[in-house]
């Protein structure tokens, strides 16, 4: 006969419930046993074999046991193992006896008897920061509201050329070159590729002043931009010759600017020229000879600089932190900070001297960590702000000058033809008059001949007058705008130049809510793996889908354990269950 040798201990102050939303972890069985024994309020020995999930009668009055919420028991005759259980109810039996109902705590009972296999982990507390202080990247979207608005927390501006601009003039032929500097007519230019157009670039300040410029070390005395525009319009050679005229803050190269503020251009690429005209002021400007484009790079510094400090690394990422690249001209690009490879945000400006303006600002090393360096440069255009806005100036064309220039020979031919036909007609009529007088001697013939002579001269007069009237009508047509101009005055006149980096973050109230949420429940991971049972100093939250747990555990308890982790559970690593004020740093 087996002697009764079951030990029962009633405990108080155990912060665990049968809901299993919180549980304690221990480093060993001995540590586990010592902790629970320290919470014992009442001890009972020599019970008969205690079955699980049942009840036990103890020799105590029910009111004296009210503070107890947990129990542990050991069947010494069968095993040294301690079973842990939640006290679910207490019932009065008699003044000295209480019936205690309990339910086995499957986690504490089998904590050291189970083994984890790779499981689909929905969310857990992961590592937040790398050793260098950068956030560990986690881009899995969270199903938590973060608001509809952002706070702008930092704005940085980059002007590749500082405070000066370029007026660019593109013409079909050279504009009246003086002194034999270049050939008149079509002057092919190597501008990225060979082109049968002439290009002029004229640097200026927005207030109309001209920056100091040198070409090949020689100072260039440039005409003021206002005088240039005035003279261009009055030069006959410019009429219908200018293809386009626009303002840009980047022409595709990166000229040096020395310590004295002088813009230094290469004589291999540019030529100082004078555009001359007998009736207009000469223009000193710069003509393009040979231009190979080269971008220039600007380092905006730490990509996270300017954002509010956060304890949860996921708040460093999109959509909680956003970096916007914009020129405030309708061209913008939204960047995810975590997709910028490296710690700094670097932007490269590239441009060209086309018939119209085109400048691109592309982000370096964005989503390109698996590419070779030459490939990174190519695909970086996928993540760029491209300004295709014309930024052109109005080009005014004088229709009369244009008509005279384009139809001069035709007009003269029409006049000469009218005069010639009139002379022939009058000669024929005069001959008829003389012949009639001599042969017929009829005075009426002379009268008819003279009348015909008057009609021929009158017809010639009216033909020439008609041509002159057409020219007068053309003259009365006001000057036309062959190019209306875009938003150039608004954009540059209001100081929108270059590129801007605008950093935005969610509103403080949402940042606090998300901080608390991430602190309690970790991040979504959606990964097949063995869950992290202890990556944090004080607690770990884990939620799985189909927890893969095995071990020498009763089947019903094993199923219960799987359900617990699928529902989500916080594992506490010390006697501070529920204290979310702890920093909970990585271990």
Alpha-carbon gap, residue 107 to 14, rounded angstroms: 14
Rounded CA Rg of the chain: 46
Beta-carbon-side half-sphere exposure of residue 511 (alpha carbons within 13 Å): 21
**Confidence category of residue 485, pLDDT binned at 50, 70, 90:** very low
**Confidence category of residue 374, pLDDT binned at 50, 70, 90:** low
The token duo for 575 is 């006697």
Q: What pLDDT is recorded for position 291?
A: 87
If one compares 5 and 438, the residue with the highest pLDDT of the two is: 5
If one compares 388 and 363, the residue with the highest pLDDT of the two is: 363
Q: CB of 141 within 8 A of CB of 281?
A: no
Q: What pLDDT is recorded for position 582?
A: 95
Q: Residue 47: is its pLDDT beyond 80?
A: no
DSSP 323-337: EEEE-SSS-EEEE-G
Q: What pLDDT is recorded for position 294?
A: 84
Region 48-70: what's the mean pLDDT? 83
Region 35-44: what's the mean pLDDT? 97
DSSP 216-285: TTEEE-PPPHHHHHHHHHH-GGGTTTEEEEEEES--SS--EE-TT--EEE-TTTEEEEEEEETTEEEEEE
Read off the pLDDT of residues 431-471 as tens digits, 9 standing for 90 and up.
Answer: 554 444 444 444 554 445 444 545 555 566 556 566 566 55
How many percent of the chain have pLDDT more than 90? 54
Read off the pLDDT of residues 541-571 as tens digits, 9 standing for 90 and up.
Answer: 999 999 999 999 999 999 999 999 999 999 9
If 0-12 CB within 10 Å is exposed, 13-18 middle and 19+ buried, where does residue 538 land? buried
Q: What pLDDT is recorded for position 450?
A: 44
For the chain, give the mean pLDDT.
83
Helix (H) or strand (E) holding 469: helix 443-476
Low-confidence winner among 58-62, 188-192, 518-522 (lowest mean pLDDT): 188-192
Q: CB of 577 within 8 A of CB of 150?
A: no
Alpha-carbon gap, residue 586 to 539, rounded angstroms: 10
Low-confidence winner among 25-34, 285-294, 302-311, 317-326 (lowest mean pLDDT): 285-294
203, 350, 356, 421 from 226: Cα distances, Å: 12, 28, 21, 50
Q: Residue 428: is its pLDDT beyond 60?
A: no
At residue 392, the 3 state secondary structure works out as strand
Task: Give me the phi and psi of 493, to 5 degrees please.
Answer: -65, -25
**Confidence category of residue 482, pLDDT binned at 50, 70, 90:** very low
**Confidence category of residue 2, pLDDT binned at 50, 70, 90:** very low
Q: What pLDDT is recorded for position 397?
A: 52
Read off the pLDDT of residues 205-224 as tens digits, 9 standing for 90 and up.
Answer: 988 899 999 999 999 999 99
Q: Chain-centre distance of CA 215, in angstroms?
A: 37
Q: What pLDDT is recorded for position 544?
A: 98
Region 416-425: what's the mean pLDDT? 55
Q: Domain residues of the chain, as ranges? A: 6-112, 116-145+505-572, 150-159+297-391+496-503, 164-291, 399-478
> Residue 191 carries which DSSP code?
E
Low-confidence winner among 93-107, 265-279, 341-355, 513-527 (lowest mean pLDDT): 265-279
Segment of 35-49, 112-126, 171-185 carrying the highest mean pLDDT? 112-126
At residue 573, the 3 state secondary structure works out as coil
If one compares 71 and 474, the residue with the highest pLDDT of the two is: 71
- How many degrees, rounded to 5, is the angle at CA 63 between CA 59 and CA 67? 100
Q: Residue 420: is its pLDDT beyond 60?
A: no
Read off the pLDDT of residues 225-277 as tens digits, 9 standing for 90 and up.
Answer: 999 888 887 776 676 688 888 988 899 988 788 889 899 999 999 999 988 77
Task: Give me the phi and psi of 2, to 5 degrees please.
Answer: -80, 130
Alpha-carbon gap, residue 371 to 335, rounded angstroms: 19
pTM above 0.85, yes or no: no
Low-confidence winner among 180-184, 213-217, 402-406 (lowest mean pLDDT): 402-406
Q: What pLDDT is recorded for position 168?
A: 93
Low-confidence winner among 11-15, 83-87, 159-163 (lowest mean pLDDT): 159-163
Structure-derived torsion over alpha carbons of residues 449, 450, 455, 457, reported in degrees to the nearest 10: 120
- Can you list the alpha helix ranges (DSSP code H) found in 477-544? 488-493, 508-521
Closest CA to 463 of 413, 513, 534: 413
Read off the pLDDT of residues 127-160 as tens digits, 9 standing for 90 and up.
Answer: 999 999 999 999 999 999 999 999 999 999 999 9
Region 161-175: what's the mean pLDDT? 89
Q: Residue 29: is its pLDDT beyond 90?
A: yes
Collect all residues with Cβ–Cβ distance below 8 Å to 281 and sequence separation of at least 6. 223, 227, 230, 231
Read off the pLDDT of residues 69-97 as tens digits, 9 standing for 90 and up.
Answer: 999 999 876 678 999 999 999 999 999 99
If one compares 14 and 474, the residue with the highest pLDDT of the two is: 14
């Amino acid at each position: 006969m087996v002697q009764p040798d079951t030990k029962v201990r009633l405990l108080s102050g155990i912060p665990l419930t049968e809901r299993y939303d919180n549980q304690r972890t221990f480093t060993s069985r001995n540590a586990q046993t010592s902790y629970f024994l320290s919470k014992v309020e009442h001890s009972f020995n020599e019970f008969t074999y205690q079955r699980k999930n049942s009840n036990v009668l103890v020799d105590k009055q029910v009111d004296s046991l009210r503070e107890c919420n947990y129990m542990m028991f050991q069947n010494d005759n069968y095993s040294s193992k301690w079973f842990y259980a939640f006290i679910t109810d207490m019932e009065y039996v008699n003044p000295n006896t209480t019936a205690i109902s309990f339910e086995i705590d499957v986690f504490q009972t089998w904590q050291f008897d189970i083994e984890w296999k790779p499981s689909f982990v929905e969310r857990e507390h992961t590592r937040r920061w790398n050793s260098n202080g950068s956030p560990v990247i986690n881009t899995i979207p969270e199903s938590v509201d973060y608001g509809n608005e952002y706070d702008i927390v930092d704005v940085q501006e980059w002007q590749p050329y500082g405070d000066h601009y370029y007026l660019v003039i593109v013409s079909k032929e050279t504009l009246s070159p003086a002194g034999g500097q270049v050939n008149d007519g079509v002057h092919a230019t190597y501008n990225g590729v060979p082109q049968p157009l002439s290009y002029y670039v004229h640097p200026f300040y927005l207030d109309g002043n001209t920056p100091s410029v040198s070409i090949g070390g020689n100072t260039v005395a440039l005409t003021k931009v206002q005088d240039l525009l005035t003279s261009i319009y009055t030069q006959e050679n410019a009429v219908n010759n200018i293809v386009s005229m626009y303002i840009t803050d980047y022409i595709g190269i990166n000229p040096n600017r020395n310590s004295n503020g002088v813009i230094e251009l290469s004589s291999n690429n540019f030529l100082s020229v004078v555009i001359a005209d007998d009736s207009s002021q000469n223009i000193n400007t710069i003509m393009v000879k040979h231009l190979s484009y080269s971008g220039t790079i600007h380092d905006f510094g730490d990509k996270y600089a300017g954002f509010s400090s956060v304890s949860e690394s996921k708040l460093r990422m999109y959509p909680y932190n956003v970096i916007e690249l914009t020129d405030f001209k309708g061209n913008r690009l939204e960047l995810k900070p975590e997709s910028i490879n490296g710690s700094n945000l670097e932007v490269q400006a590239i441009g060209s001297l086309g018939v119209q303006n085109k400048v691109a600002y592309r982000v370096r090393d964005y989503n390109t960590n698996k590419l070779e360096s030459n490939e990174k440069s190519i695909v970086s255009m996928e993540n760029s702000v491209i300004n295709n806005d014309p930024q052109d100036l109005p080009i005014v064309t004088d229709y009369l000058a244009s008509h005279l220039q384009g139809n001069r020979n035709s007009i003269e031919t029409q006049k000469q033809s009218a005069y010639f036909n009139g002379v022939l007609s009058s000669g024929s009529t005069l001959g008829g008059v003389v012949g009639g007088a001599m042969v017929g001697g009829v005075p009426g013939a002379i009268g008819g001949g003279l009348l015909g002579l008057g009609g021929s001269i009158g017809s010639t007069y009216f033909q020439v007058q008609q041509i002159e009237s057409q020219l007068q009508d053309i003259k009365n047509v006001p000057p036309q705008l062959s190019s209306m101009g875009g938003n150039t005055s608004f954009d540059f006149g209001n100081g929108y130049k270059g590129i801007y980096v605008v950093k935005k973050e969610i509103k403080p109230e949402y940042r606090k809510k998300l901080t608390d949420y991430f602190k309690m429940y970790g991040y979504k991971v959606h990964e097949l793996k063995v869950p992290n049972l202890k990556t944090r100093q004080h607690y770990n939250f884990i939620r799985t889908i189909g927890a893969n747990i095995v071990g020498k555990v009763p089947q019903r308890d094993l199923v219960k354990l799987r359900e617990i982790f699928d529902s989500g559970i916080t594992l506490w690593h010390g006697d501070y269950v529920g204290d979310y004020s702890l920093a909970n740093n990585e271990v």
